[in-house]
Amino acid sequence: MDLCLSSELREAPCTPDGCLEPPAEARSLQEDGTSRPPGDSNKIEPSLHSLQKFVPTDYASYTQERYLFAGTKIVIQESIESYGAVVWPGATALCQYLEEHTEELNLQDAKVLEIGAGPGLVSIVASILGAQVTATDLPDVLGNLQYNLLKNTLKRAAHLPEVRELVWGESLEQHFPKSTFYYDYVLASDVVYHHYFLDKLLTTMAYLCQPGTVLLWANKFRFSTDYEFLDKFKQVFDTTLLAEFPESSVKIFKGILKWD
């Protein structure tokens, strides 16, 4: 089974408007890990530099975390200064599921969009497994996301993943018109936690799904509001529990949008 090759960063509760308060083990990992400013042109190969359209946020420190999925070593630049720059348990669980069910899911050349891609691990794995991936997140996350995607998929994946801004619930028809954009899979991991945009998240999930689209959602269940969201999710999607990881409290669900 493929594993994260470095110590796991355990999560601390946060909101999109606040900074993470790093747990002790995460602070120790940051101090011991490789740290450098983002977007340093001396550190980025010319081929990557020319493709990098978004500038990584200038966090005080980054660490290089190593993972192994699909027989490929993956290095993710992370920072505990932002929720969107850390790989959380739901992401590693979803990567494991994609890897173990690649043929069943028929990911080769499938059109995939990831909601809240963060540092990009799930999008990287989906790309390596052959999918045509669009990775989305908030503007301040896109620079580090694109850096990680390019670093890990260039010359490794048949389709170089695309990076796009997606603010949940805002200008969806303008930026992702249904007449132009169709996805076989919509992926999401640990997008449900203690924040104020859960209704907009559900609206976005439903909007991106058309007939034939499969939504795969992995989440660590931390708060009562997570289960409340799950109840609302089941009202909108025909929902199947695909996998559970009791050691990390992660569940993976398949959702098919209900059509009246």
Tokens representing residue 181 in the block: 């954009």
Q: Is the dihedral of CA 107, 102, 99, 230 positive or negative?
A: positive
Q: Could you give the C-alpha distances from 87 to 43, 44, 95, 145, in angstroms and in order?
A: 22, 21, 11, 11
* Coil vs helix vs strand at 239: strand
**Residue ranges in the chain assigned as alpha helix (H):** 24-32, 46-51, 89-100, 102-105, 121-128, 142-153, 172-175, 198-208, 224-236
**Confidence (pLDDT) at 22:** 35
**Confidence (pLDDT) at 58:** 84
**Confidence (pLDDT) at 196:** 87
**Confidence (pLDDT) at 51:** 77
**Confidence (pLDDT) at 49:** 66
**Confidence (pLDDT) at 31:** 33
**Confidence (pLDDT) at 48:** 65
Domains and CATH numbers, the chain: 56-257 (3.40.50.150)
**Confidence (pLDDT) at 16:** 37
**Confidence (pLDDT) at 15:** 35
**Confidence (pLDDT) at 50:** 67
Q: Which of 155, 157, 156 is nearest to 133 (CA)?
A: 157
Identify the burial level of 157 via C-beta atoms within 10 angstroms of its C-beta, where 0-12 means exposed, 13-18 middle and 19 or more buried: buried
Q: What is the pLDDT along the chain (260 residues), one digit of tens a residue?
A: 444 444 333 333 333 333 333 333 333 233 333 334 444 433 555 566 667 788 888 888 899 999 999 999 999 999 999 999 999 999 999 999 999 999 999 999 999 999 999 999 999 999 999 999 999 999 999 999 999 999 999 999 999 999 999 999 999 999 999 999 999 999 999 999 988 899 999 999 999 999 999 999 999 999 999 999 999 999 999 999 999 999 999 999 999 999 87
**Confidence (pLDDT) at 1:** 43
**Confidence (pLDDT) at 195:** 84
Q: How far apart are CA 120 and CA 164, in angstroms?
A: 12
Q: How far apart are CA 34 and CA 32, in angstroms?
A: 7
